[in-house]
């Protein structure tokens, strides 16, 4: 889609605002005015799941009435928006993509919102980058009958990678940023090792375990006395920093497979610090496995349960086949049988539903 000069200027302003802080509430407040010019709506909301309680959400509103958040726990069960976007993460959907106008006006969510004084007429939403331990949602609401257009849908598609990065970066480093010097605080960051670069080549610092972790994953390139950043990571950072680079989903995450475990390297551009704009490489060695709900295990054969556990570990079909000693076609056959047994439509839906069922109580 060709953008007008006004749309280009507003998108550029928004992308700059979205990387201006690691406090998500502050970022959203700064972005609200520009967002309203680009995508007019009555209000908008961001929700982020809590890692320790995947079914609960932290809500942040952009002009959204507090009553929406206060009553969401009772609305969640009839939320056709969430039900729709979870099946297509990172894809922007308008209400007309979710259900017909007649179905919308008959939906329990529509009727209950009107009872609460929230005349929900049109929505546009996207599920932000589903992960093992979190997911986020961004929704625009209109109380009048003018629907969101295809052009507005395309504009939000362009903005989605930046929204995803912002939510993720604030989740990763927001607490550290509030404790004083961010770079010093990174040494106390839990669950990952970090390398902080002042591009193109200057390394500012690294956490104590980063060198050992990189040597373990790059043994041929990094010798015992070598503390360089591996070449493929340096090259990827250079590509991300190239002028005019357009962010796309996943481009700032580098995965190196090691069988049952992966090395995930997340490239995070930080807000300006003392005259420079450093990047953090967050290094995580993880299996990314989600516990299997016991109710699922009871519906599956032993072999099917093993295949599902592979999916919950984010393994490819090929890795599952190799681990279980099966052919690739046999794994695919198991999946065709598993999905209807669990009422699941896709791998993404399976990951989401498994995480949702970890909600206490």
Q: Which of 187, 231, 230 is nearest to 205 (CA)?
A: 187
**% of the chain exceeding 70 in pLDDT:** 83
Model confidence at 123: pLDDT above 90: yes
> Where in the chain is CATH 3.30.450.80?
5-178
Overall average pLDDT of the 104-117 stretch: 91
Residue 331's pLDDT band (cuts 50, 70, 90)? very high
- Return residue ranges of the chain for CATH 1.10.10.10: 294-357
Confidence of residue 350 (pLDDT cuts 50, 70, 90): confident
- How far from 186 is each of 12, 179, 232, 280, CA to CA, in Å? 29, 10, 23, 9
Q: What is the pLDDT of residues 82-94, one digit of tens each?
A: 889 888 888 999 9
pLDDT of residue 292: 85
Average pLDDT over residues 122-150: 85
What does the pLDDT read at residue 126? 94
Q: Where in the chain is the domain with CATH 3.30.450.20?
A: 191-287
Neighbouring C-beta atoms of residue 171, cutoff 10 Å: 19
Least confident of 193-197, 252-256, 270-274: 270-274
| The CATH number of domain 191-287 is 3.40.50.1370 | no
- To the nearest whole number, what is the mean pLDDT of the chain? 81
Q: Which pTM does this prediction carry?
A: 0.63
CATH number of 294-357: 1.10.10.10
Tokens 């090792």 locate to 193
CA distances from 264 to 144, 198, 236, 255, 281 (A): 44, 21, 13, 5, 10
pLDDT higher than 90, residue 155:
yes
pLDDT digits (tens, 9 = 90+) for 227-252: 688 888 988 888 888 776 666 655 57
CATH of 5-178, one of 3.30.450.80, 3.30.420.40, 3.40.190.10, 3.40.47.10: 3.30.450.80
pLDDT at 140 > cutoff 90: yes
pLDDT at 179: 47
């Amino acid at each position: 889609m060709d953008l007008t000069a006004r749309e280009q200027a507003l998108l550029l302003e928004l992308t700059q605002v979205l990387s201006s802080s690691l406090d998500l509430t502050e970022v959203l407040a700064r972005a609200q005015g520009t967002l309203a010019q680009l995508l007019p709506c009555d209000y908008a909301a961001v929700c982020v799941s809590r890692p320790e309680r995947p079914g609960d959400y932290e809500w942040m509103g952009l002009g959204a009435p507090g009553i929406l958040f206060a009553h969401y726990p009772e609305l969640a069960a009839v939320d056709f928006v969430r039900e729709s976007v979870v099946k297509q993460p990172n894809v922007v959907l308008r209400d007309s993509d979710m259900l017909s106008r007649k179905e919308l006006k008959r939906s329990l969510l529509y009727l209950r919102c009107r009872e609460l004084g929230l005349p929900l007429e049109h929505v546009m939403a996207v599920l932000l980058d589903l992960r093992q331990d979190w997911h986020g949602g961004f929704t625009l609401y209109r109380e009048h009958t003018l629907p969101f257009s295809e052009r507005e849908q395309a504009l939000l598609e362009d903005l989605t990678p930046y929204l995803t990065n912002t939510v993720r970066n604030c989740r990763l480093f927001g607490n550290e940023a509030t404790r004083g010097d961010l770079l010093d605080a990174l040494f106390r960051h839990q669950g990952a090792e970090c390398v902080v670069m002042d591009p193109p080549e200057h390394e500012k610092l690294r956490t104590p375990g980063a060198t050992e972790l990189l040597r373990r994953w790059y043994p041929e390139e990094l010798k015992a006395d070598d503390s360089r950043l591996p070449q493929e990571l340096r090259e990827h950072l250079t590509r991300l920093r190239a002028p005019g680079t357009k962010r796309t989903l996943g481009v700032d995450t580098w995965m190196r497979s090691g069988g049952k475990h992966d090395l995930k390297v997340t490239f995070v551009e930080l807000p300006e610090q003392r005259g420079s704009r450093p990047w953090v490489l967050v290094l995580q060695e993880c299996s990314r496995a989600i516990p299997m709900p016991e109710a699922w295990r009871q519906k599956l054969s032993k072999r099917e349960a093993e295949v599902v556990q592979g999916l919950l570990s984010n393994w490819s079909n090929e890795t599952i086949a190799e681990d279980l000693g099966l052919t690739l076609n046999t794994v695919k056959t198991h999946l065709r049988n598993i999905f209807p047994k669990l009422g699941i439509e896709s791998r993404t839906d399976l990951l989401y539903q498994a995480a949702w069922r970890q909600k206490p109580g």
